Structure 1
Amino acid sequence: MNFRISFLFLFFIAFSSISQEIPGFGDVDSHDFYVNQLNDSKDVDFQRIIELYDAYIIENPLDLIAKVERCKFIGNSYYDEYEEYNLKYEETEKCIDELYLNYPNNPNVLIYKAENLYGDEKLAILEEAQNKILNSPASWTDIDKASINKMLGDYYRYGENSEKTLRYYVKAQGLNSDLDLSIPIAEIYVENGKNHLAKKVLLPQLDNDTVLWQINTKAKLLLEVGETELALKLFDEVKRKDSTFINYSEMALAMENLGDFDLAREFLVKGTLSEWNKVSSLQNLFDHDLKHSDSKTALSSLRNLQEENSFDDFFAIKRFHVFFKNPFLPWSFSELLHLSFLVLSIFFLVAIPYLWVLPIFNLGLFIKRKGKQIIPKLNFNWGLRHFWIISFVYLFAQYLLSLVFFYEENINAFFEVIISYEEVVEDQLVLANSMLAFVAFMAIGTLFVLKKDVLYSLYSSKLSVWTSLKLGIGFVIFNIIFLKILKGFVDIDDFDSTQLVFNASVEIVAILKTYGFFVAVLAVAVVAPIYEEVIFRGVVLGSVEKHLGFIGANVIQASMFALIHFSLKLFIYYFVFGLVTGYYARKTEGLITGIILHAVNNFIVIVLISLFLI
């Protein structure tokens, strides 16, 4: 027996006191065992184990599993899970590349390589594996095929392609019965409103679960699909096995669904006893009390929340909710102080428009003092006073709706009141209602800047309606061509492209899903184009032109139009959109053509979203 084999034998004997079943170097997952053997002398132990792998491979050159496990050992031995950083990254990459170069058709190698890639590179290897499965299926076990299909499902899951994700997950589950993909499959069904199919997937797998996070996740999904009693049983099972793992807010939700509000409150109170994320638990308790408890209990919950974090109700909006529940409850000094913050913030909104109105006024004075006469080319009777009014109306609308619909989320984010590790799921009803409320508020607010002597600009135009409609269709075609050019300079993905060409947004999708096609058309393709054209191509363009001339005014209104869409990537698109409609306001001496262009664009948005995105 040569030295290396003798050393290997002694190494096995040395570790026999630690484990009764030491894996051989050709065993699957042997790398996990040897990674755990690395101690404080990590570098020495690492080199020793690598030499043992090498010795085994020399003696067993056809054992491909050992070669794969050797690479996995290198990749995991210095991997930091918290930092997600591998000091042996380059060495691991080299090892994987050598394996792939020498064994490009081996299932284990292809699976391992795919596991260590991301994005398009990962997809390329997975598609290569799929082709090899089709060409030589006998070389692949069902478990190997399942691994490839699961990774394809994961890839498209992150790419938000639910149809492909579901197809690959279902196929992987069918190939490997030990693989439990019921959670992601059920999540996809729930996302697409197919709760009955989610139940069908979840229920048969419940008895096989031993992992707490899986049981807990399935309990959450069962809550969503209406299986409240069964979800509660699973929560109880989690609680028995590890009481620290239970989420009392989920237990409370289950009780609320059953109509037992008192027991729901008991669970919420238990959640507040833990110091971990205590503010979030107190917020849940207050929300429950506001809906289901008396006003004094709700106020008590709010004050407990304020004691824990005084920033939570910074503008006293939650206190207003309690006020509407019972106007006769006394206000504390702290609550009155927060109310004063709300009043001051509104005064601040009054002052903000002066940041752009005053510079325009002063620049206009400077130009006149230089002897240059500005001759307006638009016959719009709006001045900077109207510009200030409409600016305040717009800011106040945004601010008010953020307080009404997204108050807690905004406060949590701005003041870092709570730390959430879960992805925020946007409520479609809230999004739809906030959009409709904003459209209605702005439509009413725009009336403040309309007078009889300016109303003619809404319907006057040198172009006929039919000509304007044809221009609107041409404008959409122009947008598409412009997008193709812009994509050469700006990194825009497919979702951004949809927004860019058609001015689509999640709010429009929410309105379509919640209230249907006709409400979306009325709000987005009729009302919104009217007030937006009045504001930007009417008030802003007309008032600024009197001080800076048409070119400067058109640039300013187009820039403001682009800024209010809050997208750096899409700024140039909205800017050009504003310039074009501003040009037609001057050319036609009215706003009707711009309104029609805007309306046609938004109408096509809604039609296309209805057909392809929903």
Structure 2
Amino acid sequence: MYRILFRRMLAALGFVCVTHALAAPTTSSPADPLLSQEAMTAQVDAASLAKYREIVGTFNAAVRARPNDSALALARCRFMQNYSWSEDLRWGEQAQTDLNACQKALKAQFGDIPEVALYVLQSTFGKAAIEQGSALLPKAKTWPAADRARLHAALANAYEATQDRRNAGIQAVQAAELLSDTPVLLLAVRHLALTGETTKARRLLMDAPVPKTPWQANARINTAHDVLPGTLARDLVLRMQKAGLKIDPYTSARALLQAGDAPGAQRALADVKPDSPESAQNRALRVSVALAAGDGPAASAAIRASLEHDTNNRWPLAQSYAVLLSIDPAAAMRPAFASLMLTLLLAGLSIVLLPGLLMFPAHYVGTVRARKGRPTIAIFEGIGLRHAWYGLAAFCLATWIIPALLIGQLALMRTGASAELQILQPKLAMAHLVTLGVVSVLLAHTVGKFGWRQWPGYGNWKARWFIWPAILLAVAAISAWVMARHAVPGAPADSPLWNEVIVHGAAQLGGPGLALLLIAVAVPIVEEFVFRGCLLGGLTRHMSFAAANVWQALIFASVHFDAKHFLFFVVFGLTTGWLAKKTHGLAAPIVIHAINNAIFVAMVLSR
């Protein structure tokens, strides 16, 4: 009843304002004040203010007649609020003064009523809103569920406004558990995904009723895509479409691609109007969809469109072009892609030459030492600086080019920023296996130079040499056990995810046995030969062992792209390098490396 009365009063106020202005007398005299826009506006303001005062007076009389009617008192404040927040009215400050007095009286008399308490809270902002809302929590235990949900939602927004995302998420989750279609649903979902409660986050999204507008549906789908990898975003697309909502084609395509349905994503993008403008992000999506579908002509057209518009996006496009080379070489050989081909060639040449640049200081140090009569002795016969250069260059080039050709968008995947990463895990593991095979083939001649005798090692070994490696492995095992024990199931891993992705991908392809074979057998053999055999062996021919060992350990740690564990990789590289010198071979370093990687595999698969 009060809402109907409220609407009628608003309509009456607007009608009086308009009719008063229209009824103003006209004259042809230029001196007539009514021809002045300012004068006419002043009359409209005066009329609207008079009508506002009249309606407020009606409200005041009704409130005096029914002093215990909280709904009527609340309707009066809401009426004033409509005009106090208006930036177009010249008398808005007067309405604000009325509103302040109204809210003060409302809170003093009806502050314990949920509807009133929530109204007053929603008119408060920042830390004051947090303090006021937190004080209401004990009283809210007896409130209806919908009102409690509104209280938690208001607190979530207040915390979000003060950049306290943790408490904002906690309050949003409580609101979503009480009211499935709460306005802070997506904030709750993001918080749950961030804290590893992905099952609960999925349930909240799927249990929420279908929204009324397409933009709300798109927001839910995009949130699922961003924080909940898998098929949930696609499931939401199908649910929203079944309910009759029109979903943005790019949103649909992104969700379908994440679920591994590249043809479906292509069909979704086909709904985009040909003359519609595309953002750089949507053009990149079109490229990814075409490449995932193996559609060479579509990928070629998408890359060409991105090349024309996104001049600052050359490197990701070059990696996508590398995938196009493997999908449709004929389409990739068009003159329009000459710049991308040149980018790839220059990148490959830089990767090959960079290890050579690193060897120049070593060669200079060796020359100076030889002139001073202090030559060094290489720890491995037959391995020199050129083998160090070639071994490192072959390893780095294959590690870059093979995954780029087979998968594409490598830089994005290394940061763990791609939502499609989980779908690509098996392909990434296969690419890693192919990379190790290519490196082995490229280094076959160097293996012959290395000789069979230096693989197992020779000389008298001493047990005390293995005390420190054993301690290091024990620390790694304990750390892995602690991390696995305290890991939150389903929690998103920290960047970078490269090594973990390879383990999971190998396990998907052939179970834990293949993961162990790849990570704990093949990787140690190849990496120990490259870094301890070729790199350390070549450097020690020109510089002291201590300097060479530090150098190779730093390079070894750098190529793993893991800043979080960089120090561990350095210490591990120093340890295996020292063992290689002591045992005159690679067998002991390979075994230590294999044990360490086996511990890592066990930790990843147990999470």
Cα deviations across residues 421-445 of structure 1 (Å, max 9, x unaligned)? 9955542233222322223233333
CA shift, 1:471, in A, is: 8.2
Q: 2: distance between equivalents of 1:485 and 1:251?
A: 37
Match of 1:91 in 2: 128
Q: Within 5 A, what are the aligned runs for 1:299-378?
A: 303=304, 306-309=307-310, 315=318, 318=321, 321=324, 325=328, 327=330, 332-369=334-371, 371=372, 373-376=374-377, 378=379
Which of 430, 435, 446 is the matching residue for 2:432? Answer: 435
Matched, 1:73 2:123: yes
Report if aligned partners of 1:282, 1:305 keep a CA contact under 8 Å in 2.
Answer: yes
Q: Does 1:459 align with 2:456?
A: yes
* SS class of match (1:569): helix
Larger RCO: Structure 1 or Structure 2 (Cα < 8 Å, ≥ 6 residues apart)?
A: 2
Provide Cα deviations, 1:373-432, integer angstroms capped at 9, x if missing partner.
Answer: 254373443211111101211221133135314435659999xxxxxx995554223322
Q: How far off its partner does 1:357 sit?
A: 0.8
Distance 1:493 1:411 in 2: 25
Match of 1:52 in 2: 102
Q: Displacement of 1:580 after TM fit?
A: 1.6
Deviations 1:479-508 (A, max 9, x none): 25679999xxxxx999999999x9952221
C-alpha deviation, 1:284, in angstroms: 3.0
CA distance in 1, matches of 2:73, 2:366: 82
State the shift of 1:358 in Å.
Answer: 0.5
Match of residue 586, structure 1, among 581, 586, 601: 581
SS in 1 for 2:530: helix
CA shift digits 1:176-224 (9 cap, x unpaired) = xxxxx353x6xxxxxxxxxxxxxxxx9xx6xx65332465689999995
**Alpha-carbon deviations, 1:229-250, whole Å to 9, x = none?**
x9499279334xx8xx444964
| Deviation digits for residues 62-115 of structure 1 (CA, Å, limit 9, x no counterpart) | 33553443233122xxxxxxxxxxxxx343344345556x85967746775466
Aligned partners of 1:259, 1:361: CA distance in 2, in Å?
51
Q: How does 1:268-283 map to 2 (within 5 A)?
A: 268=270, 270-277=272-279, 280-281=282-283
Aligned to 1:13: 55
Does 1:507 find its partner at 2:502? yes
Question: Structure 1 residue 449 and structure 2 residue 446: aligned?
Answer: yes
1:541 partnered with 2:536: yes
**Alpha-carbon displacement from aligned partner over 1:297-321 (angstroms, at most 9, x marks no partner):** 8766665555455666964974984
Distance, in Å, in 1 between the alignment partners of 2:298 and 2:167 is: 57
Spell out the pairing of 1:225-240 with structure 2 (5 A cutoff). 231=238, 234=241, 237-239=244-246
| SS, match of residue 451 in structure 2 | coil
Query: C-alpha separation between the residues in 1 aligned to 2:358 and 2:343?
Result: 24
Closer, same or farther in 2 for the Cα pair 1:300/1:375, shift >3 Å?
closer
- Counterpart Cα distance in 1 of 2:129 and 2:254: 45
2:476 is the counterpart of 1:479: yes
Match of 2:545 in 1: 550
CA contact (8 A) 2:262 2:293 kept: no
The one-letter code of the counterpart of 1:39 is S
SS of residue paired to 1:517? helix
Q: Aligned residue for 1:518?
A: 513
Please name the residue that 1:384 is paired with.
385
User: Cα distance 1:318–1:272, how it changes in 2: closer, same or farther (>3 A)?
Assistant: farther
Partner of 1:158: 194
Asked which structure has the greater CA Rg, the reply is 2
The answer on whether the counterparts of 2:192 and 2:201 sit within 8 Å (CA) in structure 1 is yes
**How far apart, in 1, do the equivalents of 2:335 and 2:466 lie?**
59
Q: Tell me if the contact between 2:250 and 2:268 (Cα under 8 Å) persists in the aligned partners.
A: no
Q: Tell me the secondary structure at the aligned position of residue 398 of structure 2.
A: helix
* Residues 1:429 and 1:15: Cα distance change in structure 2 (over 3 Å): farther
Q: Is contact 2:558–2:566 with CA below 8 Å preserved after alignment?
A: yes
Taking a change above 3 Å as real, the CA distance of residues 45 and 98 of structure 1, as seen in their structure-2 partners, is: farther
Tell me whether 1:528 sits opposite 2:523 in the alignment: yes
Whichever residue aligns with residue 382 of structure 1, its letter is: I
Equivalents in 1 of 2:579, 2:475: separation in Å?
15
1:463 Cα deviation after fit: 7.9
Alignment gaps of 5+ in structure 2? 1-50, 60-68
Unaligned runs of 5+ in 1: 1-8, 76-88, 131-140, 170-180, 186-201, 415-420, 487-491
Amino acid across the alignment from 1:432: A
Amino acid at match of 2:214: L
Change (3 A) 1:48 1:94: farther
Q: Secondary structure at the match of 1:516?
A: helix
Determine the C-alpha separation between the residues in 1 that align with 2:346 and 2:194: 44
List per-residue Cα deviations over 1:516-572 (Å, max 9, x = no partner): 222211111111001111122222222222322121111111111111111222111
Task: Provide the rounded CA distance (Å) in 1 between the counterparts of 2:180 and 2:232.
Answer: 31
Match of 1:62 among 102, 112, 115: 112
Choose the corresponding residue for 1:564, options 559, 562, 573: 559
For the aligned residues, what is the CA RMSD?
5.8
Please give the alpha-carbon distance, in whole angstroms, between the structure 1 residues aligned to 2:278 and 2:58: 42
Q: Percent identity?
A: 16
Q: Distance in 1 between matches of 2:512 and 2:542?
A: 43
- C-alpha displacement at 1:47, in angstroms? 6.3
Instruction: Please say if residues 402 and 410 of structure 1, whose CA atoms lie closer than 8 Å, have aligned partners that are also in contact.
Output: no
Return the letter of the residue paired with 1:525: A
Measure, in 1, the Cα distance between the counterparts of 2:132 and 2:178: 24
Cα contact 1:26–1:69 (8 A) shared by 2 = no
Q: Distance in 1 between matches of 2:530 and 2:116?
A: 71
**Secondary structure, in 3 states, of the residue corresponding to 1:451?**
helix
Q: 1:44 to 1:424 in 2, by over 3 A?
A: farther
Give the Cα–Cα distance (whole angstroms) in 2 for the partners of residues 65 and 561 of structure 1. 64
Distance change >3 Å, CA 582–CA 24, structure 1 → 2? farther
Could you say if the C-alpha distance between residues 464 and 518 of structure 1 is closer, same or farther in structure 2, counting changes exceeding 3 Å?
Answer: farther
8 A contact 1:439–1:523 mirrored in 2:
no
* 2:35 pairs with 1:38: no
